[in-house]
Amino acid sequence: MTVTIQLAHWGAFEAESDGKRLTAVRPWRGDPAPNPILGNIASAQHHPARIDRPHIRKGWLDGGPGPAERGGEEFVPVSWRTALDLLAGELRRVYSEHGPGAVYGGSYGWSSAGRFHHAQSQVHRFLNTLGGYVRSEQNYSFGASGVLVPRVLGSIGNLLSGTSASVLARHTELFVAFGGLSPKNSAVAPGGIGRHELGSWLSAAHDRGCRFVSVSPLRDDTFGTLGAEWLAPKPGSDTALMLGIAHVLEAEDLCDREFLARCTVGYERFAPYLADKTPEWAERITGIPAERIRSLAREMAASRTLINVSWSLQRQQYGEQPVWMGIVLAAMLGQFGLPGGGFGHGYGSSGDVGKPPTVASAPRLGQGQNPVEDSIPVARIADMLLHPGQRYEFDGQHREYPDIRLVYWAGGNPFHHHQDLARLRRAFARPDTVVVHDPFWTASARHADIVLPTTMAIERDDYGSGGNDPTLFPMPALTEPAGQAKDDYTVFAELAGRLGVAERFTEGRTAGEWLRHLYQDWRDRLATLGHELPGFDEFWSGDPIEVPLYEPERVLLADFRADPRRNPLRTPSGRIEIYSETIAGFGYPDCQGHPMWFEPEEWHSGYPLHLIANQPRTRLHSQLDVGEHSRSAKVADREPVRMHPADAEARRLREGAPVLLHNARGRCLAGLVLSEDVAPGVVQLSTGAWYDPDPEDPAFCGHGNPNVLTADRPSSTLAQACTGQHAMVEISCYDGEPPPLRAHSAPERPGG
């Protein structure tokens, strides 16, 4: 048996292998708070849901490319040679007849913690060698913030790193967490995370005397060791609560007016809006008592206060508003740039927020240049496929959706990330061809025409490090690939050879040669900065190495606070924009010149329960849903839905029984769990259960995917971002025998 250290998005681990499969997985000894999601890896590797060889949808194989009702048809297993020959021919046809603007290069980048075998980099590099592709912008995680924050704070990159958590541990006196401080979300990070440290830093702050207030519909949305006060406003009303707090700060002259005058613009245009946003007004909307709103405002003004807004709050209609309003509150308190004070965005949303920045990110494969100018906000994929030529607005730009004939997806699962899955399924019926690389028979693979099996990270050589993680891990393959799986690079290299662009794609290098080349180039660049790192051979055969830090600790906007003129922000004014002339100039009715309260349209749907479709505890997104740890949380093979006992009693629902969640968009089954950690009137069903539609009704999911219920509605005209966090639903008893679970099995092949 060999023992090797590996990295995953949810943590580092030590694995034993017999060369064919993992025989043991245990947390890396260097991680102070390992994540139990590691339990999914070994059990998923050889699950029946692995794709064992290339497959082609029977209708496409028999009839050729064209629009089709994808998702329910048989797949025909074929050889790699046949699959790649057919795919090369289809790529040649689409590029020659329709051009690169008819190809959508879909990828969400979560397929591997490895930096070279990063599926998003691989597919984009390949498509760029063919002439380019239509790309996506922003993301499903913080898409609304990604557009808003650069307009009002200058850069989202520094904000996502934030003030170092070690600084918060020593200086913060009051930590107000709008959207909570989720332990499960802080346990994962893009690219991977070696050491889970946020919980220990927050506990150190608590032990020193810092008080925590968690504003969330879920009591357990915050580390239990923090003794946080729980405030549970009506879901979607956080902006109204913040406005009520701001009213008190203004009315009682608790603002730092010197900071507002020196470091911000537009407060004088915003302040009149607060006149009628009293705590009593906010109480009528949020349900939080007016006196608690007043006292909280006073406590915030009297303390070194960190205002944190989770990514979850902006994943809803008008999601720009709570982020902007959180920035304004921090500016009113005048604590930007002070150790332990100011504003944070994403503590508890991702494990890398609060880590000090490194001198350089991990080495990675270049994607090349994309000459195609067309792009879409990532959450508008269904709109693009359904409405080619339709005009739309985005961040002050007038755009038009392209006419996509071929979708090429490698990395990620749009049938997890996207909303209103029945609508997305209609959208996926429109292209001529859909190609998917995937290790598993996810819903995305089931809605493709050409399905190519790819390796898991444990089955290929790579190295990995999170975007803001100081540890670089060598990741030699632990086992041989399952079935006939190949890594993405090998697949694209073979395709590039068939299309006459092999040299352009590979530059004459194998995957192993690329690893050595990229590492050496990265090592040389760090040497010019005065940092000596081991050579590749020493690194590859040894333990993980520590990447030097750019600064051991960071206080967000400290330099700006000290001298705004010499250290201006990258905003039009160089200062924090409480009122944005730029955004106001766009003339959008749903995102105007300063933060405002807009009542969500969903509140008027007629359904009584607020569904929180948050991230899951037992997996990352939908990854490895077939794994042992993920399946251990299922209730009667369905995703668990939590609700308050009083709400269940009113509906005569029994814990452990299958229940039906429904609204006008769709229906799904789930297994009922009762919990007083869920506010009354709220139900919580995590995302990530593999979509398992009824063959006759794509709006029904028998497994518990909440995105059959969520609306494919943009956050606003400004950001056009995802709004999948909230929906209104009803829950009722499910009568009859639940349908068999099909999502965790391979689809049918001809002949049974």
pLDDT digits (tens, 9 = 90+) for 665-717: 999 999 999 999 999 999 999 999 999 999 999 999 999 999 999 999 999 99
pLDDT at 635 over 80: yes
Q: What is the pLDDT of residue 111?
A: 62
Question: Domain extents for the chain?
Answer: 50-139+361-546, 153-349+557-586, 601-733
Q: How far lies 378's CA from each of 433, 564, 714, in Å? A: 20, 34, 11
Please, which residues bridge with residue 104 across strands? Answer: 134, 407
CA pair distance 638, 731, nearest whole angstrom: 15
pLDDT at 88 over 90: yes
**Cβ distance 342 to 557 under 8 Å?**
yes
CA pair distance 131, 505, nearest whole angstrom: 12
CA proximity to 208, closest of 167, 237, 250, 245: 167
What percentage of the chain carries pLDDT values higher than 90?
Answer: 92
pLDDT digits (tens, 9 = 90+) for 333-371: 999 999 999 999 999 999 999 998 899 888 989 999 999
CA proximity to 218, closest of 173, 168, 177: 177
pLDDT at 39 over 80: yes
What CATH number matches the domain at 601-733, 2.30.40.10, 3.40.50.150, 3.40.50.1010, 2.40.40.20? 2.40.40.20
Q: Comparing 153-349+557-586 with 601-733, is the CATH topology the same?
A: no
Q: What is the pLDDT of residue 191?
A: 87
pLDDT digits (tens, 9 = 90+) for 461-508: 999 998 788 999 999 999 999 999 999 999 999 999 999 999 999 999
Q: What is the pLDDT of residue 107?
A: 83
Mean pLDDT, rounded, of the chain? 96
What CATH number matches the domain at 153-349+557-586, 3.20.20.70, 3.40.228.10, 3.40.50.720, 1.10.3720.10? 3.40.228.10
The 3-state DSSP class for residue 176 equals: strand
- Residue type (1 letter), 578: I
CA pair distance 259, 277, nearest whole angstrom: 23
Q: What is the pLDDT of residue 551?
A: 86
Q: What is the mean pLDDT of residues 649-677?
A: 98
pLDDT at 1 over 60: no
Q: What is the pLDDT of residue 752?
A: 59
Q: What is the pLDDT of residue 3?
A: 65
pLDDT digits (tens, 9 = 90+) for 571-611: 999 999 999 999 999 999 999 999 999 999 999 999 999 99
Known catalytic residues are 108, 110
Write down the residue that tokens 């205002």 correspond to. Answer: 307
**Cβ distance 173 to 304 under 8 Å?**
yes
Q: What is the mean pLDDT of residues 162-181?
A: 97
Q: What is the pLDDT of residue 417?
A: 93
Encode burial over 678-707: b for 16+ CB neighbours within 10 A, e otherwise: bbebbbbbbbbbbbbbeeeebbbbbbbbbb
**Cβ distance 201 to 141 under 8 Å?**
no
What CATH number matches the domain at 50-139+361-546, 3.40.1160.10, 3.40.190.10, 3.40.50.740, 3.30.1300.10? 3.40.50.740
Phi, psi values for residue 408, rounded to 5°: -120, 115
Q: What is the pLDDT of residue 51?
A: 98
pLDDT digits (tens, 9 = 90+) for 118-130: 999 999 999 999 9
